[in-house]
Structure 1
Amino acid sequence: MHVHHLLEKNSIANTFVAQLRNVNIQTDRLRFRRNIERLGEILGYELSKNLKFQEEEIQTPLGTANVPLHKEELVICSILRAGLPLHTGLLNYFDAADNSFISAYRHHPNDDEEFEILVEYLASPSLEGKTLILADPMLATGRSFVNVLQALEKMGKPKQIHLVSVIAAREGIEYLEKSFPENSHLWVATIDENLDEKGYIVPGLGDAGDLCFGSKKQH
């Protein structure tokens, strides 16, 4: 897997990540969602450099111009519910892409720290021969991405897979490297070193879904 770490070089993206982490700012849900959306746009722009382009002649009022345009069929798949703002950011740039939505959540069957990832909802077009972009703002253990990939197998085999996250744990990246094709790409704003005993990223930012949309009842 090819890992593209955005904050290896300083940019305005630092500001958006800092505000997402900041406990005094992240309670503003509108700003929190918008910052994830902004990072989706930035990561989408970086991802676009990896797509294949074909020159096309464009008619202008005064003549013609030859412009390289990407011609790949894209499908953006977000993992509900935290992936929605990230999905919006990607769709702002890849506005002609098809869209896929899938649920994946942590289920604690024994009401303790042990959990399994359940996938219960999927709406997707065919992925056969297309470029798949999987979006989830938090890459912790990596199990959600792997379970989602398995659930999507019935929709066809994509020719290329890109994963997009805001914050990833190194442990989760290592898990994905064992489970995804070698030519897959991970586009991530920043990488944290640790997971805590509950499998949450440290220092991370908390529960992205709750911060985006409000707390949920556990089941």
Structure 2
Amino acid sequence: MHIHYISEQNSILNHFLAQIRDIHIQKDSMRFRKNIERIGEIMAYELSKTLEYRAIDVQTPLGIKHTTTIAEPVVLCSILRAGLALHQGFMNFFDNAENGFVSAYRHHYDNDDKFDILVEYQAAPSFEGKNLILIDPMLATGQSIVAVLHKLHLEQKPKEIHIAVVIATPEGIDYLQKNLPENCHLWVAALDDRLNEKNYILPGLGDAGDLAYGSKL
């Protein structure tokens, strides 16, 4: 798996990352969503540098300009519900992309710290021969992403798989490396320290879905 850490060099990305972690700024859910969206735009721009392009001629009012455009189709697929704001940032840049959505959540059978990942709702186009970008803000254990990818392309083979996460842990990255094909790309905005005993990211930022859309039952 190819891993891209995009916050290693100081940029406006780190400014937005600091704000989504700040417990005082987090109280404004609209601002939290907007900052996640901005992070998605930055990640989309960085990811776009690795795609294939083809030459085109564009007619301007005064002549012809030789330039390039993305050569192959892109599919954006988000894990509900936390991925929606990040998805919007990617859509702002990949405006011609097809879109898919899938649900995945931790199911605690005995109300303890043990859980299974349940993948239920799915609405997605064909990925065959396309660039699939799977979007999920938090990479904790990595189990959700692996479960979703196994469900999405058992019978379809994307040209390339890109996984975009805002915050990741070493444990989650290690799990993806052991369970996903080598041709996958992982895009990480920030790498955090570790998981705690409940498999929450430290220092993390809390529950991204709740911060963006309100607490759930």
Same fold (TM over 0.5): yes
Partner of 1:194: 194
In the alignment, the residues of structure 2 paired with residue 146 and residue 183 of structure 1 have an alpha-carbon distance, to the nearest angstrom, of 14
What CA deviation, in whole Å up to 9, does each residue of 1:97-148 have, x standing for no partner? 0000000001101001111110110001111111100000000000010000
Partner of 1:82: 82
Aligned-partner SS, 1:120 = strand
Structure 1 stretches of 4+ moved >4 Å:
none
1:1-219 correspondence runs (5 A): 1-154=1-154, 156-217=156-217
After TM superposition, give the deviation of residue 6 of structure 1 in Å. Answer: 1.2
In the alignment, the residues of structure 2 paired with residue 24 and residue 47 of structure 1 have an alpha-carbon distance, to the nearest angstrom, of 31
What CA deviation, in whole Å up to 9, does each residue of 1:151-176 have, x standing for no partner? 10246110100000110001100110
In the alignment, the residues of structure 1 paired with residue 181 and residue 53 of structure 2 have an alpha-carbon distance, to the nearest angstrom, of 23
Aligned-partner SS, 1:121 = strand
Q: Aligned in 2, Cα 1:155/1:209: closer, same or farther, shift over 3 Å?
A: farther
In structure 2, give the amino acid aligned to 1:187: W
Aligned-partner SS, 1:187 = strand
In structure 2, give the amino acid aligned to 1:86: L
What is the percent sequence identity of the aligned residues? 59
After TM superposition, give the deviation of residue 181 of structure 1 in Å. Answer: 1.3
Aligned-partner SS, 2:206 = coil
In the alignment, the residues of structure 2 paired with residue 57 and residue 145 of structure 1 have an alpha-carbon distance, to the nearest angstrom, of 39
After TM superposition, give the deviation of residue 7 of structure 1 in Å. Answer: 1.1
In structure 2, give the amino acid aligned to 1:111: N
In the alignment, the residues of structure 1 paired with residue 130 and residue 26 of structure 2 have an alpha-carbon distance, to the nearest angstrom, of 36
After TM superposition, give the deviation of residue 58 of structure 1 in Å. Answer: 0.4
Q: Which moved more, 1:35-44 or 1:146-155?
A: 146-155
In structure 2, give the amino acid aligned to 1:101: F
Aligned-partner SS, 1:148 = helix
In structure 1, give the amino acid aligned to 2:159: K
TM-score norm. by structure 2 comes to 0.98
What CA deviation, in whole Å up to 9, does each residue of 1:29-79 have, x standing for no partner? 000000100000000000000000111000000000011111211110000
In the alignment, the residues of structure 2 paired with residue 146 and residue 140 of structure 1 have an alpha-carbon distance, to the nearest angstrom, of 12
What CA deviation, in whole Å up to 9, does each residue of 1:1-21 have, x standing for no partner? 111111110001111000000
Aligned-partner SS, 1:144 = helix
Q: Check conservation: 1:126, 1:155, Cα contact below 8 A.
A: no
RMSD between aligned residues: 0.8
Aligned-partner SS, 1:9 = coil
After TM superposition, give the deviation of residue 183 of structure 1 in Å. Answer: 1.6
Aligned-partner SS, 2:24 = coil
Q: Check conservation: 1:20, 1:32, Cα contact below 8 A.
A: yes
After TM superposition, give the deviation of residue 81 of structure 1 in Å. Answer: 0.1
In structure 1, give the amino acid aligned to 2:33: R
